[in-house]
Structure 1
Amino acid sequence: MRNKITVIIIFLLFATFSYSQTKFGATLGLNTSRFTDGFKTVNGSYFNFSSTGLSIGAFAELDISEKIKFYPKIIYNQIGDREKDFGNVEERGLDISTIDYKLDYLSIPLNFKFFSKPYLIVGPQIGFLISEKAESLNLGDLKTSVDIGGNFGIGYPIQDFRIELTFYQGFSTLLEIEREFNDEIETRNTYMNFSVGYIIK
């Protein structure tokens, strides 16, 4: 199933890239990421500014109409919770804030871009796990190597450059951990990305 999904996505991207009016570019950014328990925040926040990672990749932009563009990307993405937090496990016990895994993905956002200055970014994303490393607490391998979620963001073009701020929420459960009193943690990826893109063609 995973191979079929990959083939379909690659086919769609190649079909997009072969279209003569498609613009191409490169993008570089920073992620601030953490895990959420289902869709619940940690201490009232979706973000952990101490947990940062790199994003680097390429994008294409294909006109659908005057105000709507198909805007896919291929990105090497460092997310998860990348901050070691050894003391927190002993003090607070096992909860979502004590799960620290460095995760590297090949992420493929299949976004749509609306308007021009500024513009909105909305769309699904699929990520293929490249590597994982448990930091302060090893709870075993992830349940899935494919992460599916959604993006919402805003951007602003400056000549051939573009500045973007995007929020991603994963829908895939990465770790499912049973605790006492029938309580369960469902770990999902969440991150905010700040990036700068440049149109090459």
Structure 2
Amino acid sequence: MGRSSRAEAAQHREQIVTATAQLLRERGSAGISVQDVMGAAGLSHGGFYKHFASKDELLGIATEVAFQSVLAQITDLTERTDAWDAFVARYLSAEHRDAPGTGCANTALAVESARANADAPLRTAYAEGLKGMIEFLVALEGLPEDQEEARRRAVVDLATLVGALSLARATGTTPLSEEILDTVRDELTARRSR
């Protein structure tokens, strides 16, 4: 295989993974087929198995990429003096609620992971991504003296954020959805300032 065809194959693989990461967060694994993924990547579905052994393998890789893309979107916040407030405001926003395909993998893929077999690549990738998000929230705390307490707080905060965003998405663009976002955002930022 020539250099250009290897580069082209790598580019196609990346396109497939990126498209899958978005579709997976938007529709869930049951809502996407190999043909859907390949079409979204702009490729014919016949080439899928040149890149992946199975759809399960692809779902695991796409889950990893979904978590990486979310962390890349929020890493800039760690440098801010109001990092926590900025993170919560971004996470619990109408824009985030309305963009599941590019939003938090924790929220979009929790049910997917729960339904997957214990050894499924998606579940394994989800668990690793969840750990990474918890570590991010601990780092957002700065350097607290009590690391165990910082981790406990990060777990509670993440569960609260994911729950609030899930409820807001489940209620669409209704006043109740806005109330959920506003109330939880206010509570989480006020609690940190006490």
Task: Tell me which protein shows more strand as a share of its residues.
Answer: 1
Q: Given the two structures, how large is their TM-score scaled by the length of structure 2?
A: 0.25
Q: Given the two structures, how large is their TM-score scaled by the length of structure 1?
A: 0.24
